[in-house]
Amino acid sequence: MSEQAGYVVAVVGATGAVGQEMIAMLESRGFPVKTLRAMASPRSAGKKLSFNEGEVEVEDLSTADFTGVDYALFSAGGSTSLEYAPKAAAQGAIVIDNSSAWRMDDEVPLVVPEVNPEALKDIPKGIIANPNCSTIQMVAALKPLHDAAGMNRVVVSTYQSASGAGQKGIDELMQDMDAYYQRGPEPERKKFAHPLAFEVLPHIDVFLDSGYTKEEMKMVYETQKIMSLPDLNVSATCVRVPVVRAHSEAVTIDFDEELSADKARELLEQAPGVELLDVPQENVYPLARQAASTEPVWVGRIRQDTQRPKTLHLWVVADNLLKGAALNAVQIAEALAAANV
């Protein structure tokens, strides 16, 4: 590849937590970037961001022209994506969007490259959706098991970190810690309904009339779409915990055929993007602090149900800012580039 070979890549929302991780992933994974364009709101325009031993000046998204951009990685919120993603696609860019805005659009593929790369063959709107962070890590673990034994029901309880609510979520957790120890005032509630320090909150996103939250229903619908299983029975309970980074999940799976824990371990050891960490007798199992800033989906605590031989229980942990967002988006771009799309 010549010095000038490569792709023009735009990162929209470049100054946010996920946007910065997208830039870091492009660099650390050696994605062939010829030109990086960083875009954000007018208040961030003019800032300088580091990339590949140089600097990139942040552009004002409201006046940006996407002509010549090959891939546009969006992480700027749903309303921004609804307004600007079609404009970017109309100007020739393939958009990879991290918000929830396009995920359930029938003409927008919802992709985890290890699970459903075939969905990238048809991109009618020029937009690809990055799934919800909690969904991505779960389906990466489910895929090899479903291929072996067929799933008919999934029940998941999540333990989601403060960073799932962005940098402001992390800040609010830290302010809650200070308030708990009387080192500072009680923070204004901007991200969490109650103080998160030393607490678990069974409340992520808004409550719906069904009693489920929007976050829980995202896991239901997105899992069905990604795995092409529209009738799969999925139930989720999503919980915020006082962890800074990385989401954890307790997953129960009912299969059509019996699948032993040993066979599941064998399958997961071979699964792309998955790392097995399952020696509970030696206190070895996935932990959020160990998963933070790492790329794999970590799986452990694999066990067969004591009364239902066609049921397995798993513990799944991944960095929500990486595999749950930035890394998955970059992997989609890598898959497109490999296919010359």
Query: Do residue 70 and residue 147 come from a single domain?
Result: no
Q: Which of 133, 146, 194, 238 is catalytic?
A: 133
The per-residue pLDDT for 2 is 36
pLDDT over 60 at 1, yes or no: no
- Per the annotation, the verdict on 133 as an active-site residue is yes
- Residue 95 DSSP code: E
Question: Using one digit for the tens of pLDDT, what is the confidence trace for 163-188?
Answer: 999 999 999 999 999 999 999 999 99
Is residue 247 among the annotated active site residues?
Answer: yes
Does residue 75 surpass a pLDDT of 70? yes
* Same structural domain, 112 and 156: no
Residue 257: how many other CB atoms lie within 10 Å = 9
Q: Supply the pLDDT for residue 4.
A: 53
Do residues 226 and 95 both lie within one domain? no
The count of structural domains within the chain is: 2
Structure-block tokens of residue 282? 């030696």
Question: 65 with 81, same domain?
Answer: yes
Based on the domain organization, do 232 and 262 belong to the same domain? yes
Same domain for 280 and 149: yes
Residues 188, 225 share a domain: yes
Same domain, 260 and 174: yes
Nearest residue to 138 (alpha-carbon basis) of 243, 273, 241, 19 = 273
Is residue 1 in a domain? no
Whether residue 2 is contained in a domain is answered as no
Q: Name the DSSP class of 106.
A: T
Residue type, 314: L
Locate 167 and state its tokens. Answer: 């940098």
Q: How confident is the model over 80-133, as pLDDT tens digits?
A: 999 999 999 999 999 999 999 999 999 999 999 999 999 999 999 999 999 999
Q: Residue 283's CB: how many other CB atoms inside 10 A?
A: 7
Question: Do 146 and 34 lie in a common domain?
Answer: no
Phi and psi torsions of 168, nearest 5°: -65, -30
| Whether residue 65 has pLDDT greater than 50 | yes
Query: Do 201 and 242 lie in a common domain?
Result: yes
Of the residues 194, 238, 247, 313, only one is catalytic, namely 247
Domain range for 195: 135-320
Polymer length in residues for the chain: 341
Shared domain for 252 and 235, answered yes or no, is: yes
pLDDT mean across residues, the chain: 96
Same domain, 303 and 285: yes
* Stated pTM of the model: 0.95
Bridge pairing between strands 127-129 and 48-51: unpaired
Instruction: Give CA–CA dist 306/300, Å, rounded.
Output: 17
